[in-house]
Amino acid sequence: MRRSQHLAAHHFEALGTTCSLFVVGQDRLLEGEAWTRRMGARLTRFSTDSELSGFNASAGRWFDISPDLEALLRESMHAFASSGGLVNVAVLPSMIGIGYTQPLLRGRPAATLTEMHPLPALPDVLEIKPGAARLEVGAGIDLGGIAKGWMADRLRESLGPNALANLGGDLSAGGVGPDGAGWPVGLAGVTVLLRHQGAATSSTRRRRWGGGEHHHLIDPRTGLPAQTGLEEVSVVATNGVEAEVVAKTALVLGPDLAPVFCAARALAWWLSP
Amino acid sequence: MRVTALKVGATALTLATTVLSALYVTSHLKNPAAPLQPTVLRSGTTTLAGGTLTLGPSVQPSDVQPVTSTYAS
């Protein structure tokens, strides 16, 4: 048994949620917080000054994007393909339609549910080339959980070989943890040990409004909040962004298909109806 | 005469080799009940309050206090 090494932890509020960083053996936690805040400011759709809002406002023409946004958009295209279209970041029109136009911390939205349509296929509305991207007119991007999972993976890499980043439940663990056995992480009320793995939770139980009728997790097949018979899915996968994609896809698939999908793509999973 | 002696010698050598091999094998039996190495980790589906939890072989459960959790935010 390896002896426990010094475990440094840092918690802060960013991205509209609670973030936690853990490192064994070195301390670059404040740099991690600063990076998280910078990325959050660039990728939020709630600020008109963000890079993502600038991109959304440029629909119909090519827009110069940073390497980080380009990487995220390419990751989103991959997520669309690997989820059979069930993870689709071209969800902004639906988000606006359900009234989710501001962070929930600023108050509950008023759902309108006007002009709700199935989402367009992402490759039909998003083109990417090195250093630039183009959206079709009428389309809009909300990176949502994919951004958190992707950022958790990047943070974990930058913090050191034995580190864990948790951005509001989207987490990425690298190395063997403080005791050499893996990072002890809570999943559905039990502790599991993660080594070089990620975890994420998708749920319709939080971020609800309209008397509990509406929530933020959109089913791309309808453009409406998902009603599939599953309310919460937690997943352990090979990294943070993969866990996010698998969890969201499983929740949208529902209780009949989710176990099969998770068995093919996840390392551990929690399904709650 | 010489041919017969060679035949008898070859037969005796074959029989001796067979008997010695049989004795060696029976005295060095492998235990079929021996555990596999490395140990196969626990995996499977558990029904908990509110849902089902499935752990694959690469995710181990633990009794230690978690440092953090995955959750919906």
> What confidence score (pLDDT) does residue A12 get?
94
Contact A266 B63 (CB under 8 A): no
Contact B51 A190 (CB under 8 A): no
CATH number of the domain encompassing residue A12:
3.10.520.10
Print the domain residue range for A146.
7-272
In this structure, is residue B47 part of a structural domain? no
Residue B41 has which token pair? 């980790």
> What confidence score (pLDDT) does residue A224 get?
87
Residue with tokens 């040990």: A193
**Residue A89 DSSP label:** S
B7-29 per-position pLDDT tens digit = 999 999 999 999 999 999 888 87
- Give pLDDT < 70 ranges for chain A: 1-5, 104-115, 209-212
> What confidence score (pLDDT) does residue A110 get?
66
Chain B residues touching A243 at Cβ < 8 A: 70
> What confidence score (pLDDT) does residue A3 get?
47
In this structure, is residue B8 part of a structural domain? yes
In this structure, is residue A1 part of a structural domain? no
Contact A73, A63 (CB under 8 A): no
Domain count, chain B: 1
Helix axes A144-159, A29-43, angle to 10 degrees: 150
Alpha carbons A148 and A129: distance in angstroms, whole number = 23
In this structure, is residue B36 part of a structural domain? no
Residue A127 has which token pair? 């083109």
Contact B51 A273 (CB under 8 A): yes
Residue window 124-183, chain A: list those with CB within 8 Å of chain B.
164, 166, 168-171, 178-179, 181-183
Residue with tokens 């440094």: A8
B43 min Cα distance to partner chain A (Å): 9
Chain B residues touching chain A at CB-CB below 8 Å? 48-56, 58-73
In this structure, is residue B1 part of a structural domain? yes
Q: CA distances (Å), A57 to each of A60, A94, A134, in order? A: 9, 16, 11
CA-based end-to-end distance of chain B: 97
With a cut of 60, say whether residue B41 has pLDDT above it. no
Partner-chain residue, chosen from B48, B58, B64, that has the shortest CB–CB distance to A184 = B64
Contact A190 B68 (CB under 8 A): no
Task: Please state the pTM of the whole predicted model.
Answer: 0.83
Domain count, chain A: 1
**Short-list A149, A179, A192, CA closest to B57:** A192
